[in-house]
Amino acid sequence: MAKTYKIAELGGDGTGPEVVRESRKVLEVAAQRFGFKLSWENYDWGGDRYLRTGEVLPPSAAETLSQHDAILLGAIGHPDVKPGILEKGILLKLRFDLKQYINLRPVKLYPGVWTPLKDKGPEHIDFVVVRENNEGLYTGAGGFLKYGTSEEVATQLSIQSRAGCDRCLKFAFELTRHRNKRKTLTLVGKTNVLTYEFDLWERAFHDMGNKYPDIKRDYNHVDACCMWFVKNPEWYDVIVTNNLFGDIITDLGAMIQGGMGIASGGNINPEGVSMYEPIGGSAPKYTGQNIINPMAAIGAGAMLLEHSLGEIEAALAIERAIMKTTAEKMQSQSAGKMGMGTTQVGDTVAQLVADGI
């Protein structure tokens, strides 16, 4: 009997549901071709539900999601809700509650995709950022003193544990070995200023690295790393970094791989349930017009197959279909300029998966 996987579908806000629909379409075709089944459960968590009910997430949300094999998320962020409420209340809460301590963000330039980097092509831009996803400045530790007065002080603490470094580094070293490309793992930090947090990262990096003699270790300050992303992206294989630096450098990464329309990521708990998403936002101004690019969500679907379901062949088939679509069928990766609509991009990729390319 065909294996059935349980997938939670969280369309979220704005264009989120539209792009997730296309990803689901492609995943269904891949399931059919590779002989497994997907059973979907849809959850309406997001800005509209919050405005209607006053509740950001039901208290049982994490528990409910952990009954699934994986989660596919569209985007969180609503123009009528104050920034921070949904992002913290849904996205960050789920990342934390489900212990998704890795945020995996591939930066790969597909054929035919325009990059703002002059003289760089797909052979130069193919690396992965492993962003720590549960600690650092994202824990919310800190506060105000003398709030609202002229002497006010605000603190925001970066909390990084050794165990948090170790589990993230282990994932990153294993991934570097498994990719088997340049066999180089680069720690990105700021050892010259953040002398406590990155001293810890650095010691943990080398202690762990001693167990991976086949992997070359490198280190970049985060500011220099931004420079090299633009000048020499081909130097990178796998990068490991903390939560905030990972957030920032992956927006730059997304731009050099062709923009938010095509940048996918996974919030991974290697021992639990993981959540895959386009790394861009909900783009509310494009909602309902069939012009948003679903490629990042489709790529997130391929990551889900690879990392959560272990359906590697199906994941590779989707990636090949994405590459043929970017190379031969789409005019651009920007919303409204693709030369086709949102649903057509989904149909095109799905058809190529069905055709068995």
Applying CB under 6 A, which residues contact ligand IPM? 87, 91-92, 247, 279
Largest CA distance in the chain: 69
For Mn ion, how many residues bind (rule: CB under 5 A)? 1
Closest CA to 298 of 357, 350, 352: 350
Buried b / exposed e across 164-182, counting CB within 10 Å, b at 16+?
bbebbbbbbbebbeebeeb
- The tokens for 133 are 């996803």
Q: Which amino acid is at 234?
A: E
Distance, in Å, from the CA atom of 284 to the CA atom of 79, rounded to the nearest integer, reads: 7
Nearer to ligand IPM, 139 or 351 (CB): 139
Smallest separation, CB 312 to ligand IPM (Å): 25
Nearer to ligand IPM, 10 or 91 (CB): 91
Distance, in Å, from the CA atom of 229 to the CA atom of 245, rounded to the nearest integer, reads: 14
Nearer to Mn ion, 25 or 105 (CB): 105
Nearer to ligand IPM, 13 or 311 (CB): 13
- Which residues lie below 8 Å from residue 352, measured CB to CB, with a gap of 6+? 320, 321, 324, 325
**CB-based closest residue to ligand IPM:** 87
Smallest separation, CB 32 to ligand IPM (Å): 31
Triad 146, 152, 155: Cα angle to 5°: 95
Q: Would you count residue 126 as binding Mn ion (CB under 5 A)?
A: no
Nearer to ligand IPM, 87 or 97 (CB): 87
Q: Would you count residue 277 as binding Mn ion (CB under 5 A)?
A: no
Smallest separation, CB 156 to ligand IPM (Å): 14
Binding at 92: pick from Mn ion, ligand IPM, none (beta carbon under 5-8 Å per type): ligand IPM
Mask of contacts with Mn ion, 193-232, x by CB under 5 A?
----------------------------------------
Smallest separation, CB 344 to ligand IPM (Å): 27
Smallest separation, CB 177 to ligand IPM (Å): 26
Nearer to Mn ion, 237 or 247 (CB): 247
Binding at 109: pick from ligand IPM, Mn ion, none (beta carbon under 5-8 Å per type): none
Smallest separation, CB 228 to Mn ion (Å): 20
| DSSP calls for 265-334 | EEEE-TTS--EEEESS---GGGTTTT-S--HHHHHHHHHHIIIII--HHHHHHHHHHHHHHHHHT-S-SS
Smallest separation, CB 300 to ligand IPM (Å): 12
Kind and range of the H or E element at 172? helix 162-179
- Assign 141 to helix, strand or coil: coil
Binding at 87: pick from ligand IPM, Mn ion, none (beta carbon under 5-8 Å per type): ligand IPM
Nearer to ligand IPM, 135 or 247 (CB): 247
> Which residues does residue 144 pair with via DSSP β-bridges, in sequence order?
154
Binding at 240: pick from Mn ion, ligand IPM, none (beta carbon under 5-8 Å per type): none
Smallest separation, CB 4 to ligand IPM (Å): 30
Q: Which amino acid is at 276?
A: Y
Which stretches of 159-274 are assigned E, i.e. beta strand? 184-189, 216-221, 238-241, 264-268
Among 247, 277, 311, 319, binds Mn ion (CB under 5 A): 247
- Backbone angles phi and psi of 187, in degrees to 5: -85, 125
CA 42 vs. chain centroid, Å, equals 20
Smallest separation, CB 246 to ligand IPM (Å): 8
The footprint of Mn ion (CB under 5 A) covers 247
